[in-house]
Structure 1
């Protein structure tokens, strides 16, 4: 089956605009000539970092997430909201700010659309290895939810088991853990350059 319809956007209506995302409705030409409204979030994008140390432990942070009203185990992550900042640099910055770590090696692990039925958000996940603490002169003040971050290391296989048991439900974290375990089992082969 070949797909040839272009799904042309005939008009766009902004419903909400905030610092992280916009809510829009696109009027989209459908096969057969009908035009249908499609609501979605236009997101700035983000990165995540699956940081695995030399002992095979993955660094996770526990952070409060208000929309789901709970604390969640996640990989360090952040918004692509600084104009011109390259994604590998953003990943390194988030790793330093949230986990107080520097990676000697950073590889591209995977790209993920978090909820393509209602958002255009795309997160790029990096694999960080050869970890060391940030320099003693590094200073970063955490605010709001980040003020109470808990940073912990888990055996990578144990973290995968936590995901499969429903104890880790953050989508990019689950995908990142599974991908990291897969490439580890393949001898760290199949990674793309950051």
Structure 2
């Protein structure tokens, strides 16, 4: 009998079920304690960033955006996908802040890394704290972004919204609560380039390999 907590969960076999534009789905046969294997469906993801942008008046920038799987608009932080394995997460966050809400920030730090649903996906979102805000021209790049509404909300009100169930996006909830902890002096953020142990890489590597094979 394997001692509890020491088993190494190796993959006996794997096969692709679906490879899409943003995610992939694979089926792994994973070796369990005792030697049997169990099927595990894994959704591969590019990884994403989100930004808790705080202004000098103590407001955080929220966006109201349609999310088709839920079938409604929800409140979130500005966020977006990392373009590829070579993109720096801070650069991705800076890009998304400009594209979604027309802002740039002088100071950047890491609040939290959020594993969206580690029971079936490797998606992890890195949430940044951005301060020293100033406005720039926003370039609308897609139909969904054209419908997006941005609003500055007092940070304490955003915390209330999260606890009241008015914000349900996981990264937004974590980011708002973490921003309050930092703003109140309860905790300190990490450096903007802090190590990101669980950054998703597999799906981005697939895309890179496919792009290379197309030439």
Task: Pick the TM interval, shorter chain.
Answer: over 0.9
Separation in 1, partners of 2:102, 2:148: 11
Aligned-pair Cα RMSD in Å: 1.4
Q: 2:58 aligns with which of 56, 59, 69?
A: 56
2:142 is matched with 143
TM-superposed deviation, 1:81: 2.4
1:154 is matched with 153
Q: Deviations over 1:85-144 (max 9, x none)?
A: 10000001100110100001010111110100111101100000010002xxx4523312
TM-score by length of 1: 0.94
Could you tell me which runs of 5 or more consecutive residues in structure 1 were left unpaired when the two chains were aligned. none
Separation in 2, partners of 1:184, 1:107: 13
* Mapping of residues 28-177 of structure 1, within 5 Å: 28-134=30-136, 138=137, 140-177=139-176
| Pair 1:191-2:193 in alignment | no
Call closer, same or farther: CA 1:139–1:153 in 2, change over 3 Å: closer
Would the aligned equivalents of 2:100 and 2:138 in 1 still touch at CA under 8 Å?
no
TM-superposed deviation, 1:84: 1.5
Separation in 2, partners of 1:33, 1:144: 50
Separation in 2, partners of 1:27, 1:46: 27
Runs of 4+ in structure 1 off by over 4 angstroms are none
Would the aligned equivalents of 1:22 and 1:42 in 2 still touch at CA under 8 Å?
yes
Would the aligned equivalents of 1:20 and 1:81 in 2 still touch at CA under 8 Å?
no
Alignment length, in residue pairs? 190
Could you tell me which runs of 5 or more consecutive residues in structure 2 were left unpaired when the two chains were aligned. 193-215
